[in-house]
Structure 1
Amino acid sequence: MSGFTDYHAHFVYGVDDGARTREEMFAMLDAAAADGVTRLFATSHSTPGMEPFPRDVYQRHLDFARAYCAEKGYDLMLESGSELLYTPAAAYAAAEHSLVTLGGTDWVLLEFVPDVAAAEVETALRQITGSGYRVLLAHIERYPRLARSGALPRLKEQYGIRCQVNAATVLEGGFFQRRKLDRWLKDGLVDAISSDAHNCTTRATRMQAAYERLCGILGQPDADALTGRNNALLLTP
């Protein structure tokens, strides 16, 4: 497989705020295949302590998606996963080794509420990595207090985390947002660009367009690494 790896997408229908119907899920898979994605993680939302993750429904609908890709002949590997919203209960779930991981590895895709403070992020990382998990931090551009704190380089080094940015962020935003992102990219703070796709319209997959802009900013080798192109995989078992 020589296409993109998308670590963050909400295409499994009927589970969260992503695809609502089987037909919408199939349309999102069509779009991902057309966008050059060859490895796609099904990261439906999970919120420990607030609502149970519907594992049976999730797995059944992911199986439908895999069968559809096989029927269409897509070179598209679908991986399991979840986008974990941090709550205090997440620490207990981590200690019980019950978090939903990415593709059967020990990596979890972790998100926070937008106004999260750097100290709370560090507490969460200490708890979750201390239970044996590794963390891919979802859409770091959404945490302004974390960015202002300047703590991200230290957290990356201390806890071995990786950081993901949405493809839309690479392509959109004003002058100051783009300047901040370009600085993060050049400083090596971003490890993966993913779609965070929820539908085919307002939050669609845009991996190819993001890749082309990254090539212009950083050059093709770094753009390949950030988009998981040519099997440049970020997450190891």
Structure 2
Amino acid sequence: MTEQFLDLHTHVVYGVDDGARTEEQMRAMLDAAAANGITTLVATTHATPGLEEFPQERYQRHLDAAQAYCQQQGYGLRLYPGAELLYNPMLRDAARENGLPTLAGTDWVLMEFLPQTSAKELENGLEEVAVCGYSILMAHVERYRCLESRGLLEKLKARYPVACQMNGSTVLEPGSFWKRRRVERWLSSGVIDVVASDAHNTTSRPVNLREAYQKLKLTFGEETADRLTGRSGLWKEFRDALAQQKTT
């Protein structure tokens, strides 16, 4: 099977958040993504609906420039719009009044919380977005301290239309002994649905799906590695469905 990784969480579009700062940095990230075996990439710029206006015109213009660059370079890399939504008290009202930016025009939203968010606030946030008709991909679940409570993440997945994303950097370097134990338990049990890079640059926070895939394959087997990187299962179906649509 050729490498065809899906990266659902990146900050590649320049000039709109703390990811790529310049067009040159964006191009370098796209070069790295193509070299890393990524064929489908969602550009999930930070957004706080209800609190700050999203720079939609600039985002779309820079996303178009990114797609044009990939085509010019002959990369088999499809780019799609998206956003990483930070939960805040105004998010539900924003969802009801204007809708939320989704992953590639689907009903999926990428949603993050502050690391110190309580279990109650996290569940309330999931419920508020779910009742508006969205499915939620919860970003880098390994960051949230409340989820250290054993079994809580599984309970939330059972109650709400939630999938869980882990960063590739966590797969590669889990951290402390106890965090490593938790990460390994989540990966082996299937509670994690997708691994993504959360790439912001080409140095400290680069694309890393090939490296993460290799470690996942070595540790948990090829079937798990394929499922978590969009080469099989739900997220391959997601990627294949996007391929039938027109890009950006």
Instruction: Give the alignment's TM-score, normalised by structure 1.
Output: 0.96
- Report if aligned partners of 1:7, 1:41 keep a CA contact under 8 Å in 2: yes
Partner of 2:235, secondary structure, is coil
Q: Percent identity?
A: 51
- The Cα of 1:67 is off from its aligned counterpart by 0.1
- Is 1:202 aligned to residue 222 of structure 2? no
Partner of 1:53, secondary structure, is coil
Alpha-carbon separation, structure 1, partners of 2:171 and 2:98: 34
1:110-189 alignment to 2 at 5 Å?
A: 110-148=111-149, 150-172=151-173, 173-189=175-191
Number of residue pairs the alignment of both structures matches = 237
Partner of 1:78, secondary structure, is strand
- The Cα of 1:154 is off from its aligned counterpart by 1.0
Partner of 1:13, secondary structure, is coil
Indicate the residue corresponding to 1:51 in structure 2.
Answer: 52
Alpha-carbon separation, structure 2, partners of 1:154 and 1:187: 14
Alpha-carbon separation, structure 2, partners of 1:174 and 1:151: 20
- Report if aligned partners of 1:40, 1:79 keep a CA contact under 8 Å in 2: yes
Alpha-carbon separation, structure 2, partners of 1:192 and 1:235: 13
- The Cα of 1:50 is off from its aligned counterpart by 2.4
- The Cα of 1:145 is off from its aligned counterpart by 1.4
- The Cα of 1:177 is off from its aligned counterpart by 2.1
Q: Which runs of 5+ in 1 are unaligned?
A: none
- The Cα of 1:231 is off from its aligned counterpart by 7.8
Q: Which runs of 5+ in 2 are unaligned?
A: 242-248
- Report if aligned partners of 2:109, 2:135 keep a CA contact under 8 Å in 1: yes
CA distance change for structure 1 residues 56 and 131 in 2, over 3 Å: closer, same or farther? same
Partner of 2:166, secondary structure, is strand
Q: CA RMSD in A?
A: 1.6
Q: Aligned to 2:235, which of 229, 233, 236?
A: 233
Q: Deviations over 1:184-235 (max 9, x none)?
A: 1112110000000000000001111100110012110111010012686267
Q: Deviations over 1:116-137 (max 9, x none)?
A: 1111111111111101010000
- The Cα of 1:89 is off from its aligned counterpart by 0.8
CA distance change for structure 1 residues 67 and 191 in 2, over 3 Å: closer, same or farther? same
Q: Deviations over 1:111-170 (max 9, x none)?
A: 000001111111111111101010000000000112226321111011020000000000
